[in-house]
Amino acid sequence: MLVSGAALLLACGAFIGYDLFSFRQAVLNNLSIQAQIAGSNAVSALLFDDQNSAEKTLSALRVSPAIISAGILTPEGRPFAAYSRDKDDQIQILPRLAAGQTETHRFGDSEVLLVQSIVFQGKPIGIVYIRSGLDVLYARLRLYLGISAIVLAVSLLAALLISPIFQRQISRPIAQLAEIAQLVSRDKNYSVRAAESNSRDEVSVLVEAFNSMLSQIQERDQALRKAHDELEQRVQERTTELDNINKELEAFSYSVSHDLRAPLRAIDGFSQALLEDFGEKLDSMGQDHLHRVRLAAQRMSALIDDLLNLSRVTRSEIHRETLDLSAVVRATADELQRGAPSRNVNFVITDGLKVNGDSRLLRVAIENLLGNAWKYTSGHSCARIEFGLYQSNGRPAYFVRDDGAGFDPRYSQRLFGAFQRLHASSEFPGTGIGLATVQRIVRRHGGEIWAEGEVEKGATFYFTL
């Protein structure tokens, strides 16, 4: 309302102002023409110094009611003839005409004075002036002001009357839309809708579009929720599946550990019985066959044990805690030495190396690594087994080094395979599961293991955790 009112005011003002200005120009023009006519009519009177004739000419100006007075002067400025509408004339101080200027005017309050030079054959022979009242102008101004005031009032009234209609049609629906949009984004409630109107205009189109957009969002939101729920459910199912599989695996290893051993025991036992009871009836080849049967059975038993251990390592949970790895190494070394006190082995162990890991699994890993070092140095009369910390590219790595049989580095990638061996069982007993177990343990701690070695020059196993 304010804006439209101000706009109207400005428009009216501009219009009035322009009109007044052009009216003023018109008045001046009119006066000028009248002055010229009067001037040219008075030429002969001036030339023949006929004051009466000049006054008669001037009195013709009576027809124009706005003209208050007029006069003709000699070029020197002496009054020659005068006319006055109201019979009370004051002597005018006329503005002087500058050289070369034929006309000038001056606006006083409520009157305008025009001075013009009368020229005959190129020579100024007199000055004519006309004083005109601006009453008409002011009357016009007042009229205009009145009209514009009325127009303003009427239109403001009309606007006041019409605006509620527009509000209802346009701004209220839009305000409502804005409110609903805010509500939706704040509360995430996609089920609200804007009230629709029956009209077929742009606003109702907007409202319809808004509502359909909300419906889409609601659909999407519901679909998303459903998908999320389905996903949750599927994850749940998978987890249950995995749990079940793990339990099955446990049960499987359990029965393996029990049921497979019994027949093995029978094979070994009765072969031995055969040897003992009927050995003399067999020749050396027969006895050798039975030996092989027994050895095979025992080896199978060792394999079963190792496989079970390996699967147990992979399945079990890791309970991380701070652990003194050096102490574990020292304890294992002591145990090995106790098991074969005659062996001369020099253990060089770096103390105080603490790690964060599962104590049970790490003990198994150390037992395997040290056990290997112990085993593969058994051929030497004296051996050196070392455990320490090694900085590799800024990451600390632990190592176990021995100076025993070593291995051929060309086959190093087979070192960690399950049941893979680089030596014959006749040289060094074992199933080849030890390093595979250590690798599993190290990997479960997020680390890596690698080895360096040379034949008969010992081996070093590095691992990170």
Angle between helices 261-278 and 284-315 (to 10 degrees): 160
Could you tell me which of 377, 413, 403 has the C-alpha nearest to residue 459?
403
**Residue 436 CB, nearest approach to other proteins (Å):** 21
Contacts of 14 (CB under 8 A, 6+ apart): none
- Taking CB under 8 A as the criterion, the residue among 262, 322, 394, 426 binding other proteins is 262
- Residue closer to other proteins (CB basis): 268 or 358: 268
- Does position 382 interact with other proteins (CB under 8 A)? The reply is no
- Does position 270 interact with other proteins (CB under 8 A)? The reply is yes
- Residue closer to other proteins (CB basis): 181 or 267: 267
Find the part of the chain contacting other proteins (CB under 8 A) among 45-53, 111-119, 258-266, 424-432: 258-266
**Residue 399 CB, nearest approach to other proteins (Å):** 32
- Does position 272 interact with other proteins (CB under 8 A)? The reply is yes
**Count, residues near other proteins per rule CB under 8 A:** 20
Determine how many CB atoms are found less than 10 A away from the CB of residue 405. Answer: 21
- Does position 402 interact with other proteins (CB under 8 A)? The reply is no
**Residue 424 CB, nearest approach to other proteins (Å):** 21
Map the footprint of other proteins across residues 289-318, applying CB under 8 A: 294, 297-298, 301
Report CA-CA distances (Å) from 170 to 31, 160, 174: 56, 15, 6
Conformational region of residue 345, where left means phi above 0, alpha means psi within -120 to 50, and beta covers everything else: beta
- Does position 261 interact with other proteins (CB under 8 A)? The reply is yes
- Residue closer to other proteins (CB basis): 238 or 360: 360
**Residue 302 CB, nearest approach to other proteins (Å):** 9
Q: Are 346 and 384 in contact (CB under 8 A)?
A: yes
**Residue 270 CB, nearest approach to other proteins (Å):** 7
Find the part of the chain contacting other proteins (CB under 8 A) among 99-107, 262-270, 423-431, 443-451: 262-270
Q: What is the spatial order of strands in the sheet that 344-349 belongs to?
A: 344-349, 382-392, 395-402, 458-463, 449-454
Map the footprint of other proteins across residues 59-78, applying CB under 8 A: none
**Residue 258 CB, nearest approach to other proteins (Å):** 4
Find the part of the chain contacting other proteins (CB under 8 A) among 15-23, 75-83, 250-258, 409-417: 250-258
**Residue 406 CB, nearest approach to other proteins (Å):** 31
- Residue closer to other proteins (CB basis): 206 or 260: 260
**Residue 282 CB, nearest approach to other proteins (Å):** 17
- Residue closer to other proteins (CB basis): 156 or 293: 293
Per the listing, tokens 């209802």 go with: 168
- Taking CB under 8 A as the criterion, the residue among 78, 188, 258, 410 binding other proteins is 258
**Residue 361 CB, nearest approach to other proteins (Å):** 15
- Residue closer to other proteins (CB basis): 68 or 290: 290
- Residue closer to other proteins (CB basis): 143 or 273: 273
Distance of CA 301 to the CA centre of its chain: 63
Q: x/- site string to other proteins, residues 424 to 443, per CB under 8 A?
A: --------------------
- Residue numbers at the binding site for other proteins (CB under 8 A): 254, 257-259, 261-266, 268-273, 294, 297-298, 301
